[in-house]
């Protein structure tokens, strides 16, 4: 996702905020400070309304973060790597490195999010009651009650059985478990997602016509997003089904030319071993083990006068940020990480050595072959 600020790491998970979160933060703070709080308790100071509104909006974003972090932590425990969370306009996105291996794992990974939101809602409800009994400041009681409500709403909405919501994944796990077909399960959850999405769009449009402009527009936006996501997930699932039968070995460029980590940028950009052959090269240490990947574009960004004194180590993408696979792994496992990786390439490793490199274009080529050599109608309508 573009225009994302990286805030830092929580439990080793990179946490980012998309600029659109500022919109939701502002809407919530404004709605509380100028709407709900003065309506419930008129006559207070303006700064008190705004302070409560701003703090409450921040706590709400933290609740959202807790929900997403729980997905990643449970995914890790179930053998699915995950290391990135982005908050944006319509909630959070946890990026997982692969798909859940079994329906039970899918159930746990998807289920924990709404559960965390529900528990948070309960905790805030308890705080509300306690602050009320203790005769705490009325604005604080009001804010706690709002946080309890919004977290419970978040849990209920996310549990709706429609993709791409958590409930859609629960439905998918159930159908997958009953039918044994992951693709069939994805299609059922996706169909439910499109139906719910269009219902939300219709209700939203009706509300807009009936005069509830901002609330209606919000519903239309979320509904439309759900339809788009459910459709995209469906086509990705069909694509994965096709690529599951192809080993990485068959798509990769074998034995790529590598560059030693101590090579200067000047040498790299000017020497025959690398010139014109590819636009990215694996970087290896003295023992020949891979340590990263350097792209010609990134090396070319080093000012000419610094190129003689800058080594590839300074401009390469470190190995930890590059997707890797074994030569006999199924190609579909690389899909989610390949497009998200900074260099849009994956390294194929065997026994600690680079044996190949895979680009998005390689995967597209395999897809073209598979879809052209299959009988018409046998899957794949769109390629994301
Ligand atoms: Zn969730």
User: Does 179 have pLDDT greater than 80?
Assistant: yes
Looking at the structure, do residues 312 and 339 belong to the same domain, yes or no?
yes
Domain boundary among 112, 134, 159: 159
Average pLDDT in the 50-76 region? Answer: 92
**Alpha helices, DSSP H only, in 82-181?**
103-133, 138-158, 166-179
Looking at the structure, do residues 225 and 105 belong to the same domain, yes or no?
no
Report the DSSP beta bridge partners of residue 38.
none
What is the 3-state composition of the chain as percent helix, strand, coil, each rounded to the nearest 5?
60, 15, 25
Lowest-pLDDT range of 23-37, 224-238, 260-274, 365-379? 365-379
Looking at the structure, do residues 192 and 272 belong to the same domain, yes or no?
no
**pLDDT (tens digit, 9 = 90+) per residue, 316-326?**
999 988 889 99
Average pLDDT in the 323-349 region? Answer: 85
Contacts of 354 (CB under 8 A, 6+ apart): 256, 258, 282, 284, 290, 347, 348
Q: Is 266 a catalytic residue?
A: no
Confidence of residue 380 (pLDDT cuts 50, 70, 90): very low
167 alpha carbon to ligand 1 midpoint, in Å? 9
36 in any annotated domain:
yes
42 vs 28, 34, 52, 238, CA distance in Å?
19, 11, 14, 56
Looking at the structure, do residues 236 and 287 belong to the same domain, yes or no?
no
**Residue 267 belongs to a domain with what CATH number?**
3.10.580.10
User: Does 171 have pLDDT greater than 50?
Assistant: yes
State the residue for tokens 């604005």.
139
> What pLDDT was estimated at residue 383?
33
Residue of 68, 84, 142, 187 with catalytic role: 68
166 alpha carbon to ligand 1 midpoint, in Å? 5
Tell me the percentage of the chain whose pLDDT exceeds 70. Answer: 95
Other Cβ atoms less than 10 A from the Cβ of 244: the count is 13
233 alpha carbon to ligand 1 midpoint, in Å? 16
Other Cβ atoms less than 10 A from the Cβ of 65: the count is 18
68 alpha carbon to ligand 1 midpoint, in Å? 6
122 in any annotated domain:
yes
> What pLDDT was estimated at residue 332?
84
Looking at the structure, do residues 137 and 8 belong to the same domain, yes or no?
yes
Nearest to 299 by CA among 321, 277, 317, 286: 317
pLDDT top residue among 358 and 97? 358
Looking at the structure, do residues 128 and 22 belong to the same domain, yes or no?
yes
> What pLDDT was estimated at residue 117?
95
**pLDDT (tens digit, 9 = 90+) per residue, 277-312?**
788 899 999 888 999 999 998 888 999 999 999 999
227 alpha carbon to ligand 1 midpoint, in Å? 17
Contact 343, 318 (CB under 8 A): no
Average pLDDT in the 170-198 region? Answer: 91
Average pLDDT in the 186-213 region? Answer: 90
Looking at the structure, do residues 3 and 37 belong to the same domain, yes or no?
yes
User: Does 211 have pLDDT greater than 60?
Assistant: yes
**Alpha helices, DSSP H only, in 278-351?**
296-300, 312-315, 335-338
State the residue for tokens 């439990």.
11
Handedness of CA 133, 139, 144, 145 (dihedral sign): positive
92 alpha carbon to ligand 1 midpoint, in Å? 7
Our count of domains for the chain comes to 3
**Chain mean pLDDT for the chain:** 86
224 in any annotated domain:
yes
Contacts of 82 (CB under 8 A, 6+ apart): 13, 71, 72, 75, 76, 94, 95, 96, 97
3-class secondary structure, 85: strand
Q: Cα separation of 270 and 264, whole Å?
A: 10
Q: Cα separation of 255 and 349, whole Å?
A: 10
Domain boundary among 99, 127, 159: 159
Copy the structure tokens of residue 116: 């965390």
The pTM of the full predicted model, rounded to 2 decimals, is: 0.70
Looking at the structure, do residues 137 and 182 belong to the same domain, yes or no?
no
Q: Which helix (H) or strand (E) holds 10?
A: strand 4-10
Average pLDDT in the 182-192 region? Answer: 88
User: Does 337 have pLDDT greater than 90?
Assistant: no
Torsion of CA 159, 160, 162, 163, to 10 degrees: -30
3-class secondary structure, 5: strand
110 in any annotated domain:
yes
383 in any annotated domain:
no
381 in any annotated domain:
no
pLDDT top residue among 196 and 13? 196
> What pLDDT was estimated at residue 90?
66
Query: Exposure of 209 by Cβ count < 10 A (0-12 exposed, 13-18 middle, 19+ buried)?
Result: exposed
Tell me the percentage of the chain whose pLDDT exceeds 90. Answer: 40
> What's the gap between Cα 241 and its chain centre?
21
User: Does 53 have pLDDT greater than 90?
Assistant: yes
User: Does 102 have pLDDT greater than 60?
Assistant: yes
94 alpha carbon to ligand 1 midpoint, in Å? 8
62 alpha carbon to ligand 1 midpoint, in Å? 14
379 in any annotated domain:
no
Q: Cα separation of 107 and 369, whole Å?
A: 34
Q: Cα separation of 171 and 160, whole Å?
A: 9
> What's the gap between Cα 111 and its chain centre?
17
Looking at the structure, do residues 149 and 6 belong to the same domain, yes or no?
yes
Looking at the structure, do residues 25 and 46 belong to the same domain, yes or no?
yes
> What pLDDT was estimated at residue 376?
47
Domain boundary among 209, 227, 243: 243
Average pLDDT in the 173-192 region? Answer: 90
In terms of residue numbers, what domain contains 19?
1-159
Binding residues for Zn(2+): 67, 71, 166
376 alpha carbon to ligand 1 midpoint, in Å? 37
> What pLDDT was estimated at residue 382?
34
Confidence of residue 103 (pLDDT cuts 50, 70, 90): very high
Looking at the structure, do residues 333 and 264 belong to the same domain, yes or no?
yes
User: Does 367 have pLDDT greater than 50?
Assistant: yes
Looking at the structure, do residues 291 and 146 belong to the same domain, yes or no?
no
205 alpha carbon to ligand 1 midpoint, in Å? 26
Binding residues: 67, 71, 166
Average pLDDT in the 54-80 region? Answer: 91
């Amino acid at each position: 996702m573009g225009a994302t600020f990286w805030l830092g790491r929580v439990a080793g998970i990179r946490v980012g905020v998309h600029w659109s979160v500022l919109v939701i933060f502002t809407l919530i703070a404004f709605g509380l400070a100028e709407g709900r709080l003065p309506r419930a308790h008129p006559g207070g100071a303006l700064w008190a309304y705004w302070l409560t509104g701003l703090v409450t909006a921040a706590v709400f974003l933290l609740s959202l973060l807790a929900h997403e972090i729980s997905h990643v932590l449970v995914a890790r425990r179930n053998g699915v790597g995950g290391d990135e969370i982005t908050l944006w306009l319509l909630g959070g996105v946890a990026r997982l490195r692969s798909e859940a291996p079994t329906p039970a794992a899918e159930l746990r990974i998807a289920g924990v999010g709404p559960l965390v939101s529900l528990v948070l809602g309960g905790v805030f409800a308890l705080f509300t009651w306690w602050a009320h009994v203790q005769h705490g400041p009325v604005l604080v009681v009001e804010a706690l009650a709002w946080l309890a409500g919004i977290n419970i709403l978040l849990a209920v909405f996310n549990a709706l059985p429609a993709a791409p919501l958590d409930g859609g994944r629960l439905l998918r796990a159930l159908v997958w478990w009953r039918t044994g077909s992951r693709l069939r399960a994805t299609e059922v959850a996706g169909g439910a997602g499109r139906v719910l999405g269009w219902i939300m769009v219709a209700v939203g449009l009706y509300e807009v016509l009936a005069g509830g402009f901002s609330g209606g527009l919000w519903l239309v936006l979320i509904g439309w997003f759900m339809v788009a996501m459910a459709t995209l997930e469906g086509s990705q699932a069909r694509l994965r089904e096709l690529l599951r039968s192809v080993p990485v070995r068959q798509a990769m460029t074998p034995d790529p030319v590598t560059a030693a980590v101590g090579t200067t940028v000047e040498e790299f950009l000017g020497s025959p071993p690398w010139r014109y052959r590819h636009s990215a090269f694996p970087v290896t240490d003295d023992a020949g083990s891979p340590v990263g990947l350097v792209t010609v574009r990134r090396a070319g960004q080093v000012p000419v006068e610094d190129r003689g004194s800058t080594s590839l180590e300074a401009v390469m993408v470190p190995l930890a940020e590059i997707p890797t696979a074994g030569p006999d792994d199924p190609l579909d496992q690389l899909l989610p990480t390949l497009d998200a990786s900074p260099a849009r390439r994956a390294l194929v490793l065997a026994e600690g050595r680079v044996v190949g490199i895979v680009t998005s274009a390689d995967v597209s080529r395999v897809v073209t072959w598979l879809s052209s050599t299959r009988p018409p109608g046998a899957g794949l309508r769109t390629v994301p």
